[in-house]
A and B are shown apart, each in its own frame.
Chain A
Amino acid sequence: MGDSVINFEEEISRFKPSLDVEEVEDAIVKSDLTDMTDIMMEMIKEIRE
């Protein structure tokens, strides 16, 4: 690969498939919407318990 310092195989493996339009619904369902407020509420709840 000439003078390049990148490893082609490694670099290619880092590329991930792009999200297809048909997979939007699954992605929405699977998306993690938890934010810091939810985490802190959960922690406060556990502490109270």
Chain B
Amino acid sequence: MDYVRRNRQIANSFYNLGLEKANIRDLSGAVECLKKSLRFDKYQMDARNLLGLIYYEMGEVADALVQWVISTNLKPTDNPADRYLDEIQRKPGRLEIVSQNVKKYNQALWYAQHDSDDLAILQLTRVVEENPHFVKAHLLLAVLYMYHEDFPKAGHSLYKVLQIDKNNPKAQWYMSIVKKNTGKAEVEKRKLKNAFSHQKMQDDDVIMPPSYKENTGWQSVLNILAGLILGMMVIYFLVMPANTRALNNEHNDEIITYSQKLNAKNQELESLQASYDDLKTSADEMESRLSTIEGDNSQVLAQYQTMIGILQAYRSDDILSVARLYVDLDTSLITDESVLAIADAVKTDMETNGYQLLENLGTQAWNAGRQTEAEEYYQKSLEVQPNNPSATYLLGRLYQSQGNSDLARQYFTRIITEFPESDQASQAENALAQLGPASTAVGAADAQTEAEPQEDGESQAGQEETEAGEAETDGTDETAAGSAQDEAGPSEETQTAGETETAQQE
């Protein structure tokens, strides 16, 4: 039976074609192919079962049941239709709902065919809500919307149909009419034209380079990382330096503020230091004044002690001690009136008698080699009695022997000018002659300084004077003679004059 086998082959081919169309959701085309397949071989179970599935998908549940029941009748065993039927019958309410939906659709169709469009639309709206895959209901609803020129709603229903059965001929035809009435057809036509024709460059067109590729997952991650790195670099190189500069400026301002405060404090410290120095100076001055006062008090006390010593010396008739103590007496420091009266009496006594004693004490000290002490005695003698050419001359000779030619010349000149009639005047003139000019007197003064007065004053002096007299007799130089006299102590003339005066006073 070759024709039987051929019919099966043809049926199988139609089934394959229907299956391919079903896979691309061309359900209408698949239905046609599957029906043809069953026309050639009614036992093609796959085609029948697939046809039932397609009916079920398009909302035609009763048609699906018909195909599956026939399928199970023709092939009772090992038939997938059994499972489909079991799935539907397992939910008893499901068949009832489907039945009600079909009845509503049929009623809506009756309304539509009998000029009750609004009722038909209401009914169909409920039907598609309960069974969104009911293709026939969507198509009828779209026709009704189109009739009422509600093309957007019609387009919405048709869009749903084409989602279920993309090559549904009716839906495609209705959709073309809807697009024509809504203007979408022109838009799509223009897009299609632009896609396959030369297109003029627009301002906002972007030409993608041939090397451009859409980013993959890893590229996106790398781009994100690169963005993060760039962001960090921007922060590090742009933001951080600005912040650092701001912080530096702030720190500089703080440093300036602190420097100003420091300068103010330093100035305050300097002023305080100056005040401290002033106060310290005042304190030192006060301390020195206090010590001076204390010293003055001790000096005053010493003067009183000297005064007491003078009185004791008077009591024991020790005129020499009186004169010696009188040298150290400073009556200006004595404030007590009674003591001052005694001091004045002592002064008067010393001015009348004591000055000669002081002169003698000076001569004794000179002869003892105590030139400084001798100088003080002579000075004190002159203070007690200034008109004493003898003491003046001796003081001049003392200075001459010390090499102090200026003072010596001063005292010698004083004798010549103030006491020209005195015995010491001529001696002073000789002494001045010996001194000579200020420059030549130095050698003589050096020679006198080397000599020391003899302890035995008068005898030594006499001996020297004798030698001097011999020198003069021999016609030797006067300067040399004078020098010899100075080295030995006061000259004979001086001694004579002093003794003469002392005798006269006595």
Residues of A within 8 A of B (CB): 1-6, 8, 11-13, 15, 17-24, 27-28, 31, 33-38, 40
User: How many Å lie between the Cα of A24 and that of B136 in the bound state?
Assistant: 18
Pairs across A and B, CB under 8 Å, 9 listed: A2-B146, A2-B151, A6-B146, A6-B173, A12-B112, A19-B63, A21-B95, A35-B39, A37-B41
Cβ A4 vs Cβ B140 within 8 A: no
Cβ B66 vs Cβ A6 within 8 A: no
Chain B residues with CB under 8 Å of A6's CB are: 143, 146, 173-174, 177
Chain B residues with CB under 8 Å of A22's CB are: 99
Cβ A21 vs Cβ B7 within 8 A: no
Chain A residues with CB under 8 Å of B105's CB are: 17-18
Q: A8-B143, A37-B7 are in contact. Are A15 and B136 (CB under 8 A)?
A: yes
Is B328 in the interface zone, CB < 8 Å from A?
no
Is B164 in the interface zone, CB < 8 Å from A?
no
User: How many Å lie between the Cα of A28 and that of B42 in the bound state?
Assistant: 14
Cβ B146 vs Cβ A24 within 8 A: no
User: How many Å lie between the Cα of A38 and that of B1 in the bound state?
Assistant: 12
Nearest neighbor of B98 in chain A, beta-carbon distance: A21
Chain B residues with CB under 8 Å of A17's CB are: 105-106, 109
Q: A1-B146, A36-B7, A37-B41 are in contact. Are A19 and B66 (CB under 8 A)?
A: yes
The listed residue (B66, B106, B136) touching A28 by CB distance below 8 A is: B66
Nearest neighbor of A21 in chain B, beta-carbon distance: B99
Q: A15-B109, A37-B3, A37-B7 are in contact. Are A21 and B102 (CB under 8 A)?
A: yes
User: How many Å lie between the Cα of A28 and that of B73 in the bound state?
Assistant: 10
Q: A13-B113, A28-B70 are in contact. Are A18 and B62 (CB under 8 A)?
A: yes
Chain B residues with CB under 8 Å of A40's CB are: 3, 7
Cβ B39 vs Cβ A33 within 8 A: no
Q: A21-B98, A40-B3 are in contact. Are A1 and B147 (CB under 8 A)?
A: yes
Cβ A36 vs Cβ B41 within 8 A: yes
Chain A residues with CB under 8 Å of B95's CB are: 21
Q: A4-B181, A15-B136 are in contact. Are A36 and B147 (CB under 8 A)?
A: no
Chain B residues with CB under 8 Å of A4's CB are: 146, 177, 181
Cβ A2 vs Cβ B106 within 8 A: no
CB B140 to nearest CB in A, in angstroms, measures 6
Is B184 in the interface zone, CB < 8 Å from A?
no
CB B468 to nearest CB in A, in angstroms, measures 176
User: How many Å lie between the Cα of A11 and that of B69 in the bound state?
Assistant: 32
Chain A residues with CB under 8 Å of B113's CB are: 12-13, 15
Is B149 in the interface zone, CB < 8 Å from A?
yes
User: How many Å lie between the Cα of A47 and that of B241 in the bound state?
Assistant: 108
User: How many Å lie between the Cα of A8 and that of B33 in the bound state?
Assistant: 29
Is B84 in the interface zone, CB < 8 Å from A?
no
Chain A residues with CB under 8 Å of B42's CB are: 33-35, 37-38
Is B103 in the interface zone, CB < 8 Å from A?
yes
Beyond contacts A21-B95, A31-B66: 6 other A-B pairs, Cβ-Cβ < 8 A, are A1-B149, A12-B112, A15-B136, A19-B66, A19-B102, A28-B70
Cβ B146 vs Cβ A18 within 8 A: no
User: How many Å lie between the Cα of A28 and that of B115 in the bound state?
Assistant: 33
Cβ B61 vs Cβ A21 within 8 A: yes
User: How many Å lie between the Cα of A31 and that of B39 in the bound state?
Assistant: 12
Chain B residues with CB under 8 Å of A31's CB are: 66, 70
User: How many Å lie between the Cα of A34 and that of B365 in the bound state?
Assistant: 187
User: How many Å lie between the Cα of A38 and that of B4 in the bound state?
Assistant: 9
Is B20 in the interface zone, CB < 8 Å from A?
no
Nearest neighbor of B61 in chain A, beta-carbon distance: A21
CB B414 to nearest CB in A, in angstroms, measures 162
Cβ B174 vs Cβ A27 within 8 A: no
Q: A3-B180, A5-B177, A11-B143 are in contact. Are A18 and B38 (CB under 8 A)?
A: no
User: How many Å lie between the Cα of A24 and that of B63 in the bound state?
Assistant: 7
User: How many Å lie between the Cα of A20 and that of B112 in the bound state?
Assistant: 19
Is B60 in the interface zone, CB < 8 Å from A?
yes
The listed residue (B4, B102, B174) touching A37 by CB distance below 8 A is: B4
Cβ A21 vs Cβ B143 within 8 A: no
Residues 179-196 of B at the A interface (beta carbon under 8 Å):
180-181
Is B65 in the interface zone, CB < 8 Å from A?
yes
Chain A residues with CB under 8 Å of B56's CB are: none
CB A7 to nearest CB in B, in angstroms, measures 10
A-B interface, 3 closest residue pairs, ranked by CB to CB distance from nearest: A19-B62, A35-B42, A21-B99
CB B214 to nearest CB in A, in angstroms, measures 42
Cβ B181 vs Cβ A27 within 8 A: no
Is B40 in the interface zone, CB < 8 Å from A?
yes
Chain A residues with CB under 8 Å of B146's CB are: 1-2, 4, 6, 8
Cβ A2 vs Cβ B181 within 8 A: yes
CB A44 to nearest CB in B, in angstroms, measures 9
Chain A residues with CB under 8 Å of B7's CB are: 35-37, 40
User: How many Å lie between the Cα of A13 and that of B112 in the bound state?
Assistant: 9
Cβ B147 vs Cβ A8 within 8 A: yes
